Amino acid sequence: MGSQKIGFTGTALQMTERGIERRSESGVDETVDTYVGSWDDRATAITNLGISYGDAHAVNSDCKLREINVHQVTGGGAYAEFEYVYRPDVSGGADTPPTGTITQEANANAINVPIGQHPSASPGVNYDVDRQVGKDDWEGIKSFLEPQPTYRRTEIKDSFTFSEANIIGNCGKVQQTPTGMTSVAAAPAIGARWLVCGHSVKQMGTKYEEVYEWQYAKNGWHTQGASAIYTEIS
């Protein structure tokens, strides 16, 4: 006679007497739920339980489902033991920041600016407009250094689709006020001051780290006319 538990159907997983366990694996705290079900119908049983990879544990919500291990019970015939292993988000040995965490950075770097944009440039006096170079006291000077800071914003997200459009994002476009920054002064006539010069996304477990970086230009970025190389973010 085959073994069969009264009132038990192997395609509906039942938690064992061990129930919920807490244990440490390689220094990382884990939560493990153990069930019993049918070995032959294990795929159906897992589907019927309705828990997917990345789902939070019902009790310890800081842990997410990372592994499903199925072991055929020795001497148990058609029965199997199902281990659902939950761990916190871990990256580089440290917990990943919670979803929605935002980090802001700024760097007041100095870049070369055409000498004709210097506030003291005087066409025909110390600046040759045709040659775009300094003259007289400014003889031969083509550019000067001016603080033009960069701004970087990092956000932890639950999801990101790696498509061409999403990867490119707004990179190469200019905008008046970068995301997360308080409103800045009106744009100069030539165009907005902040250029999106970098966009990167890194997957860390079930989360994503998205980084945008902007380069500031005091006199604005070209956005129109024959020399246009940047477009405004609408």
Q: Is residue 176 one of the residues assigned to a domain?
A: yes
> 24 Cβ partners below 8 Å, 6+ apart?
30
Q: Is residue 143 one of the residues assigned to a domain?
A: no
How are beta strands 143-147 and 194-204 bridged, if at all? unpaired
User: What CA–CA distance (Å, rounded) separates 84 from 15?
Assistant: 11
Q: In this predicted structure, what is the pLDDT of residue 7?
A: 43
Q: Is residue 185 one of the residues assigned to a domain?
A: yes
Burial label, 90 (beta-carbon count in 10 A; 0-12, 13-18, 19+): middle
Q: In this predicted structure, what is the pLDDT of residue 104?
A: 94
Q: Which of 219, 221, 169, 174 is nearest to 195 (CA)?
A: 174
Q: Which of 36, 99, 95, 93 is nearest to 70 (CA)?
A: 36
Residue-wise pLDDT tens digits, 111-136 = 788 888 888 888 888 998 888 898 88
Q: Is residue 227 one of the residues assigned to a domain?
A: yes
Q: Is residue 5 one of the residues assigned to a domain?
A: no
Domain interval for residue 33: 14-88
Q: Is residue 159 one of the residues assigned to a domain?
A: yes
Q: Is residue 117 one of the residues assigned to a domain?
A: no
Residue-wise pLDDT tens digits, 209-232 = 999 999 988 878 877 643 445 566
Q: Is residue 52 one of the residues assigned to a domain?
A: yes
Total count of domains within the chain: 2
Regarding pTM above 0.75, the answer is: no
> Mind listing the pLDDT tens digit of every residue in the chain (234 residues)?
444 444 456 688 988 877 788 876 655 678 999 998 888 888 899 999 999 988 999 988 888 898 999 988 766 567 888 999 998 865 534 556 788 899 999 988 887 888 888 888 888 889 988 888 988 889 889 988 888 899 999 999 989 999 999 999 889 888 888 998 887 766 666 678 889 999 999 988 778 999 999 998 887 887 764 344 556 665
Q: In this predicted structure, what is the pLDDT of residue 114?
A: 87
